[in-house]
């Protein structure tokens, strides 16, 4: 029994780093669904972080944030959070590795698009209006807005056709090809 335990432990120790690949970043889960806004600050009393939190509590900014499918990540003194919920240390470090960030004393604010690429990176103070305008200028945002505009009139129009017309008869499915005997 002892040998089995030691063998299993050895395998886990050797395979652990291989299983923890760089692709396990929390940003991978948001790719294609939302636009992460990442704030990396040295402390909770950092003026940039405090002002960003206050501005996100305003109703207009909160609505703009959710309308643009954004999620807020924060890394404060190596403690990570996603939308106010704590991340484990491995996920926090994977997030920092995914952003390819170096060490720095200043607060960094990074906007990542739905495609997973960095769209905006700022040091120090941040303006939400600038972030919103950057998102609105993105091609994905334009496509979403165009799709919503096309879908709304299509739903409003009644179906075309004569009032008493019969619906079209469905076509018969084609016969599958016959298999030759071997």
CA distances from 18 to 14, 23, 47, 69, 90 (A): 8, 11, 39, 33, 14
Question: Quick check: 75 and 48 in contact, CB under 8 A?
Answer: no
| Domains contained in the chain, CATH given | 20-140 (3.40.30.10)
- The two tokens of residue 78 are 């190596």
- Cβ of 130: how many Cβ atoms within 10 Å? 12
- Pair 39, 52: CB distance under 8 Å: yes
**SS3 state at 165:** coil
The model's pTM: 0.62
Summarised one tens digit per residue, pLDDT across range 57-72 is: 888 888 888 888 888 8
pLDDT tens across the length of the chain (182 residues): 667 766 766 665 555 554 554 457 777 887 888 888 888 888 888 888 888 888 888 888 888 888 888 888 888 887 888 888 888 888 888 888 887 776 667 888 888 888 888 888 888 777 888 888 888 887 765 555 545 544 555 555 555 555 555 666 667 777 766 766 65
Tokens (6 digits) for 53: 């939190």
Q: Whole-angstrom Cα distance, residue 149 to residue 153?
A: 7
What pLDDT is stored for residue 152 in this prediction?
Answer: 53
d(Cα 74, Cα 58) in Å, to the nearest integer? 19
Rg from Cα positions in the chain:
26
d(C-alpha 177, C-alpha 144), whole Å: 43
3-state helix, strand, coil in the chain (%, to 5): 45, 15, 40
For 33-172, list the strands marked E by DSSP. Answer: 35-41, 70-76, 79-82, 85-86, 108-112, 118-123
């Amino acid at each position: 029994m002892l040998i089995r335990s030691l063998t299993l432990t050895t395998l886990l120790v050797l395979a652990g780093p291989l299983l923890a690949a760089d692709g396990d970043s929390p940003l991978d889960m948001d790719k294609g669904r939302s636009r992460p806004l990442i704030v990396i600050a040295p402390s909770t009393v950092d003026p940039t972080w405090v002002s960003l939190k206050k501005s996100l509590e305003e109703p207009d900014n909160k609505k703009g944030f959710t309308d643009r499918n954004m999620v807020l990540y924060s890394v404060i003194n190596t403690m990570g959070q996603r939308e106010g919920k704590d991340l484990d240390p491995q996920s926090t470090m994977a997030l920092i590795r995914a952003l390819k960030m170096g060490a720095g004393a200043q607060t960094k604010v990074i906007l990542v698009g739905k495609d997973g690429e960095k769209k905006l990176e700022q040091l120090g103070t941040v303006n939400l209006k600038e972030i919103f305008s950057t998102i609105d200028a993105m091609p994905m945002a334009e496509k979403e807005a165009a799709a919503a505009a096309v879908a709304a009139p299509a739903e409003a129009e009644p179906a075309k056709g004569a009032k008493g017309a019969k619906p079209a008869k469905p076509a018969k499915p084609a016969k599958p090809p016959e298999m030759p005997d071997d």
